[in-house]
Chains A and B, each alone.
Chain A
Amino acid sequence: MRQLYRFHGGIHPPEFKDLSNGTPIAQPPLPARLVVPVSQHLGAPAKPCVAVGEAVLKGQVIAGADGRVSAAVHAPSSGRVVAIANADVAHPSGLPQTCISIETDGLDRWVGKTPLPNWQDADNETVRAFLRDMGVVGQGGAVFPTALKLGVSQLDTLIVNGAECEPFISCDDRLMRERAQEIAKGVMIAGTLTCAAEMLIGVEDNKPEAIAALKAACAGTPIEVVSVPTRYPSGGAKQLIRILTGKEVPHGMRSTDFGVQCFNVGTLYSLKRAIVDGEPVISRVVTLTGELERCGNTEVLLGTPIEHLLAWAGVTARCDGVIVGGPMMGFPLGSRAAGVSKAVNCLIARSDTLLPQRPPAMPCIRCGACADACPAELQPMELYWHAKAREFGPAQEANLFDCIECGACSYVCPSQLPLVDFYKFAKDEIWAAERDKKAADLARARHEFRQFRIERDKAEKAERLAARAATPAAAAAPDAAKADAIRAAMAKAAERKASAAPPPTDDAKRAAIEAAMARAAAKKAEQQDADAPPKPVLDDAKRAAIEAAMARAAARKAEQQSAAALEAEAAPAPAAQPVIDDAKRAAIEAAMARAAAKKAAQQGAAVPETEAAPAPAAKPVIDDAKRAAIEAAMARAAARKAEQQSAAALEAEAAPAPAAKPVIDDAKRAAIEAAMARAAAKKAEQQGAAVPEAEAAPAPAAKPVIDDAKRAAIEAAMARAAAKKAEREAQKGQDPQP
């Protein structure tokens, strides 16, 4: 007779096990629809690897293990995948989670079974990968991937947990009675994989039939079946290890550090089915008990909706809710549409006569009954005080995370305090704070790197400028490498900065006029581009999109201004007098541009080979393109500089002028400049609204307002027409292609 030890505390709640343990494991009918959660285990949720509408066979992998701490999920029956979406799951939060819904076809056709017959010869790694892909996880409640637990070698003791100490639950009991042979085989496999020196099956002495069945099955094997005294929670891993070996696992250590590993009987049964029979985990034994007409144990396909099971078992009128798990550690079920997962071992249809409501809680009287009952030898009242006051640091110091949430303290509390709820609250808060801290650390690291990168880029730029200043000859080579070109541009911009310091007002006007002209030229160029081979179409589309964006922004700005400053309303109109006109035109332009963009995009999609086009100034005109780009950069820099200056000196705001200086006939450059000039004008507009006396400045055509307005309107109309033509031609050019 083996010497047994005693764990601290523990309670003797009424068992209610005879409600369900009298009948053999039944097989409920196949449901029409299975809702299989992809996260039925601890760790990363499995990744769905089937598509909606796909036909699946029983046992086929529908979601693969994602990472080390994960397990695969399989189709529990044959049918068709009808949805991969959020659905209700059996979780205390009641929140939905990704599930794969399968419409069963009633045929239950198996995919080819793939056992691992030579597992003795295979190395540990292969067997573990096999178990992970077979979806074997701990069925005691924590659903920890079994493959990881088998990663240890040279165990002193392999403990098999058949204690099943929680009231109402009898699924392990029935499994041990009816399938003791297979459990014994599973224990032998696990013992061999972990090179265990001894193998013990611990069963509470309130299950004599199960003990007898296991003893018969284990006769002639090194497995020892041990009857342990009935006391809740002897089924806790640490408690059972204590009972059977006398070893106590201290805080912060694992049982494997002491050469002990603990598995549930259900887990080892599914392990045997996977390795010897080649069947993945697609079902589990679930106890249906409480206010039901047919209490008992059932072998349930994973994903079976709980309402289907309850309907089959017949819920009585007294039932007013369903508890998932046992009455001590279980939780009330949110939605009965949720599917059964690998963690669901028991469903209790509760009623007030069966499980009376908890009386109202009273203040803690510091009686210490909870400390006497605590199997983890904690001071529950201390944890309660800390959690109640949200003092999570002290709670952690009082070993909050050693609490196994067994509920013994709440059970004995004379004040009926929901103690475990407080511990769960505190634990979740600490985990959340930990997550926030991780996120903050990541953000800090990324922000610091960004600062560093910006500084480095600045330094490199300055270095390049210095090198450039040392060798001015390089500026004369516009055809040289791109880097040279950029450097040149920057140098020119710098020069201009110096020259643009006192910009004359005339320049502003001229710039505006030139911008308008450039816009017209750009439209013309677009037309020409459209005549050319289909390449630039995508380019046009993008440009159109940008223009649309700018136009939209202009419209918005104009609107704001018109609302804000009534007397200054003439100011923002760059070409036409009334603000509303401007806004409207901008809106119309935007709409047109958007339409053009869409058309162009469609064409682009039809003709994939044009996708090289987006480079604004494609290959044939590299020189021009580069020059244009350089000029654009220079103009932009100048504009920005000037803006700053204009903020200081009001009459200086006409800065875009420098952009217009160089005489170019290149259409593309003109287009870019036009866009920039428009942007600059808009910026100037903003300033104009702020400073009414400067209102004339942004107007591209200055004093003779009416003339200019007319001309601008005409130009706009012409440009619009040109754009339309260009579009049409572009479309024509595209058509033969597809």
Chain B
Amino acid sequence: MNILLTALGVMALLAIVLGAILGFASVRFRVDADPLVDQIDAILPQTQCGQCGHPGCRPYAEAIASGDADINQCPPGGEDGIRKLAELLGVDFKPFDGEAAEPKPKSVARIDETTCIGCTLCIQACPVDAIVGAAKQMHTVIESECTGCELCLAPCPVDCIRMVPLGTSVETWKWRYPVIPIRTIKA
């Protein structure tokens, strides 16, 4: 009987102590944001273009994390992006939908400064503040900050913005994948 009581007492004590530790830990080491969202957000290309149907990359990351969105909605991320997301989330790779926008070569917006009327609409549309200018003053795009999201094209009343593909320079050139040519050998 005594042993039984002791055992019960020890178990109860353990439960209280461990419960207290867990309770403290859940308060002290609480994680506010979903770390998965950050991880997904780190993979997304941050063009903030909205082609996925979400108002920016982070909302899309949140949608993926909560299971509301598929991983194949981000054309600027390309298939590499889908692959990385699939790896992170432990799901299968999924190609782009048939009707989804095609991934395009990286380009930046350029404003035709002779046509620009200084309406500031593109400045308001730019998600990364890459357009400088003021009302009734000429606007211009900071090329190094432009993500190529094309959000400035639609609001322009005079259609003076166009996308210029960046192309490759000596600095961004990449050694191509070595292809070993197959030769036919006469029998």
User: Which residues on A are within 8 Å of B, measured CB to CB?
Assistant: 39, 89, 91-93, 95, 97, 360-361, 417-418, 421-422, 424-425, 427-429, 431-432, 435-436, 439-444, 446-447, 449-450, 542, 545-546, 549-550, 552-553, 614
Q: Are B129 and A553 in contact (CB under 8 A)?
A: no
- Could you pull out 24 A-B pairs where Cβ atoms are within 8 angstroms? A39-B170, A95-B168, A95-B169, A360-B183, A418-B178, A425-B175, A425-B177, A428-B173, A432-B174, A435-B172, A439-B147, A440-B44, A440-B45, A443-B147, A446-B129, A446-B130, A447-B128, A449-B129, A450-B127, A542-B117, A546-B117, A550-B157, A552-B158, A553-B158
Q: Are B180 and A360 in contact (CB under 8 A)?
A: yes
Q: Are B46 and A440 in contact (CB under 8 A)?
A: yes
Q: Are A614 and B45 in contact (CB under 8 A)?
A: no
Cα A450 to Cα B46 in complex, Å, equals: 13
Cα A104 to Cα B172 in complex, Å, equals: 33
| Interfacial chain B residues near A91, Cβ < 8 Å | 170, 173
B57 at the interface (CB under 8 A from A): yes
Cα A441 to Cα B119 in complex, Å, equals: 29
The 4 A-B residue pairs whose C-beta atoms are closest, nearest first, are: A93-B173, A421-B178, A443-B46, A428-B174
Nearest opposing residue in chain B for A601, CB measure: B114
B48 at the interface (CB under 8 A from A): yes
| Interfacial chain B residues near A39, Cβ < 8 Å | 170
Cα A5 to Cα B145 in complex, Å, equals: 51
Majority secondary structure, A binding face: helix
| A-contact 0/1 string along B43-61, CB 8 Å cutoff | 0111110000000110000
| Interfacial chain A residues near B136, Cβ < 8 Å | 542, 614
| Shortest Cβ gap from B149 to chain A (Å) | 9
| Shortest Cβ gap from A7 to chain B (Å) | 26
Partner of B129, one of A422, A431, A435, A450: A450
Number of interface residues of B (CB under 8 A): 33
Q: Are A549 and B46 in contact (CB under 8 A)?
A: no
Given A425-B177, A436-B45; A553-B170 close (CB under 8 Å):
no
Cα A442 to Cα B47 in complex, Å, equals: 10
B150 at the interface (CB under 8 A from A): no
Partner of B180, one of A418, A447, A550: A418
Partner of A549, one of B41, B48, B157, B178: B157
Cα A424 to Cα B174 in complex, Å, equals: 9
| Interfacial chain B residues near A439, Cβ < 8 Å | 46, 147
Q: Are A97 and B175 in contact (CB under 8 A)?
A: no
B90 at the interface (CB under 8 A from A): no
Q: Are A447 and B45 in contact (CB under 8 A)?
A: no
| Interfacial chain B residues near A553, Cβ < 8 Å | 157-158
Given A428-B174, A432-B174, A542-B136; A360-B181 close (CB under 8 Å):
yes
Q: Are A446 and B145 in contact (CB under 8 A)?
A: yes
B75 at the interface (CB under 8 A from A): no
Q: Are B174 and A447 in contact (CB under 8 A)?
A: no
| Interfacial chain B residues near A429, Cβ < 8 Å | 174
Q: Are A92 and B175 in contact (CB under 8 A)?
A: yes
B176 at the interface (CB under 8 A from A): yes
| Shortest Cβ gap from A226 to chain B (Å) | 36
Cα A410 to Cα B44 in complex, Å, equals: 37
Q: Are A421 and B175 in contact (CB under 8 A)?
A: yes
| Interfacial chain A residues near B119, Cβ < 8 Å | 546, 549
Partner of A446, one of B128, B172, B176, B177: B128
Nearest opposing residue in chain B for A454, CB measure: B124
Cα A93 to Cα B174 in complex, Å, equals: 8
Cα A385 to Cα B46 in complex, Å, equals: 32
| Interfacial chain A residues near B180, Cβ < 8 Å | 360-361, 417-418
Q: Which of B117, B145, B168, B169 counts the most chain A CB atoms within 10 A?
A: B117
A-B contacts besides A360-B183, A545-B117, 9 pairs, CB < 8 Å: A91-B173, A93-B173, A421-B178, A432-B172, A441-B46, A447-B57, A546-B117, A546-B119, A552-B157
Given A421-B178, A425-B176, A549-B158; A443-B169 close (CB under 8 Å):
no
Q: Are A428 and B175 in contact (CB under 8 A)?
A: yes
| Interfacial chain A residues near B170, Cβ < 8 Å | 39, 89, 91, 93, 95, 97
Cα A93 to Cα B173 in complex, Å, equals: 7
Q: Which of A89, A421, A427 counts the most chain B CB atoms within 10 A?
A: A421
| Interfacial chain A residues near B56, Cβ < 8 Å | 447
Given A39-B170, A91-B170, A360-B181; A447-B48 close (CB under 8 Å):
yes
Cα A535 to Cα B31 in complex, Å, equals: 62
| Shortest Cβ gap from A538 to chain B (Å) | 10
| A-contact 0/1 string along B96-125, CB 8 Å cutoff | 000000000000000000000111000000
Cα A439 to Cα B145 in complex, Å, equals: 8
| Interfacial chain B residues near A442, Cβ < 8 Å | 145
Nearest opposing residue in chain B for A419, CB measure: B178
Nearest opposing residue in chain B for A615, CB measure: B136
Cα A431 to Cα B181 in complex, Å, equals: 27
| Interfacial chain A residues near B173, Cβ < 8 Å | 91, 93, 95, 428
Which B residues, 16 to 52, have Cβ-Cβ distances below 8 Å to chain A?
41, 44-48
Cα A280 to Cα B176 in complex, Å, equals: 37
Nearest opposing residue in chain B for A420, CB measure: B178
